Copies of this chain bind each other. A is one copy, B any other.
């Protein structure tokens, strides 16, 4: 990561959460979970990679599924290890859309103006 390291600049990062009422529809953790489910084909493998319990990952998936018009993750029977999970077309759209939103944010004049005020060397 960009922290510490003598004389290296710290890179400002933006974390975006999209909330629906009190629920976080998608944010840094949930988007990472979606990406890892897509990569590993498994909620439990994704959970392990993030150091969280299967139950916690499942609750995050359920919360996301409840926020969007269609579920983002579906479980599949059979296949490697006797079943797994994959992103639905809506899940793919949300993941890509979240990354697009982050990328757009980094490109705005407002982001540059704000981050130009930061101290960009380690404290």
Contacts and interface: CB of A to CB of B under 8 A. Distances in A.
Contacts of A103: 110
Given A10-B20, A17-B15, A93 B117 contact: yes
A3 B19 CA distance: 11
> What's the number of copies of this chain in the assembled complex?
2
Interface residues of A, number: 45
Identify the interface centre among A3, A108, A117: most chain B CB within 10 Å of its CB: A117
B21 A68 contact: no
Interface of A: 1-4, 10, 12-22, 25-27, 66-69, 90, 93-94, 97-98, 100-101, 103-105, 108, 110-111, 113-115, 117-120, 122-123
Contacts of A101: 105, 108, 110-111, 114
B119 A67 contact: yes
A74 to B, nearest CB: 16
